[in-house]
Amino acid sequence: MEQRGAQRRLRLGVMGGTFDPIHHGHLVAASEVAAKFDLDEVVFVPTGQPWQKMAKKVSEAEHRYLMTVIATASNPRFTVSRVDVDRPGPTYTIDTLRDLHTQRPDADLFFITGADALAQILSWKDIDELWSLAHFVGVTRPGHVLDGMGRKDVSLLEVPAMAISSTDCRTRVAEGNPVWYLVPDGVVQYIAKYGLYQASTDSVRLDTDHAEATTGNGAAGADPAQHDPTFEITQPASTE
């Protein structure tokens, strides 16, 4: 018999990614998963140093964090955490989930990532503990079939508007093409203001203290943790 007055556990989505830049595909995916799984909140977690991209050029973490804050500001169900940005060293999902589990012991975690990234999950660090910390949700474009996901703690969800990729957005900016309607308006303006992704110039570096002081949006403040393959959905859903 259910105890009278017992409170329902919170359902917390965890959307991890490089977000270089964050785009509408990320936001649509988070919204769809929140509706499908009745999530109370989705926390976006920009990576610090993505362990799978150590040899690749990635924009400064503060830029990616602030673009994520801007992109999510209009949705009261979305928040942004600095756990991966503030933790030194390479970012791993296991560290992100451990810290969020510690910070939110009242919540069940739902880790949201690209379905192809989920298919490669066996290469991730501490796989057995990952399964114990969160339910995993792999999002993919309609019609894209993935096999071998027969675990009760893994779900797949087809999400519309998944053909957008951060790689394409960066390329378009570098070539002088517009990214309006691919990324949120405020992010378009942020990219232009700081000269991000320009082929011939370096982006403007941010003063970290100033950046932290201007992030509003109820963004989860400086916590410690980490993360891994970026959540970027490209044609068949990639892990960039």
pLDDT tens per residue across all 240 residues of the chain? 445 556 889 999 999 999 999 999 999 999 999 999 999 999 999 999 866 555 467 899 999 999 999 999 999 999 999 999 999 988 888 999 999 999 999 999 999 998 877 877 766 667 889 989 999 999 987 777 665 566 777 898 988 766 789 999 999 999 999 999 999 999 999 999 999 999 765 556 665 443 443 344 444 433 333 333 334 433 333 334
| Structural domain boundaries, residue 27 | 10-213
For CA atoms 168, 169, 175, 177, the dihedral sign is positive
Report pLDDT for 163. 76
Report pLDDT for 105. 96
CA–CA dist 68, 11 (Å, integer): 21
Report pLDDT for 151. 72
Q: Within 10 A of 109 (CB to CB), how many other CB atoms are there?
A: 19
- Phi then psi for residue 214, to 5 deg, are -120, 25
φ/ψ bin of 232: left (φ > 0), alpha (ψ from -120 to 50), beta (otherwise): beta
Report pLDDT for 122. 60
* Counted domains in the chain: 1
Whether residue 219 lies inside any domain: the answer is no
Whether residue 76 lies inside any domain: the answer is yes
Report pLDDT for 201. 55
Q: Residue 145 to residues 113, 138, 139, 230: CA-CA distances in angstroms?
A: 16, 12, 11, 20
Residue 185's Cβ-side half-sphere holds a number of Cα atoms within 13 Å equal to: 1
Whether residue 138 lies inside any domain: the answer is yes
Whether residue 64 lies inside any domain: the answer is yes
- Return the CATH number at 191: 3.40.50.620
Report pLDDT for 208. 46
Helix (H, G, I), strand (E, B) or coil at 137: strand
Interior/surface letters 122-141, b for 16+ CB within 10 angstroms, e for the rest = eebeeeeebeebbbbbbbbb
Report pLDDT for 236. 31
Q: Are strands 134-140 and 78-80 parallel, antiparallel or unpaired?
A: unpaired
Report pLDDT for 91. 86
E strands, the chain, in order: 10-17, 41-46, 49-50, 78-80, 90-91, 107-114, 134-140, 154-158
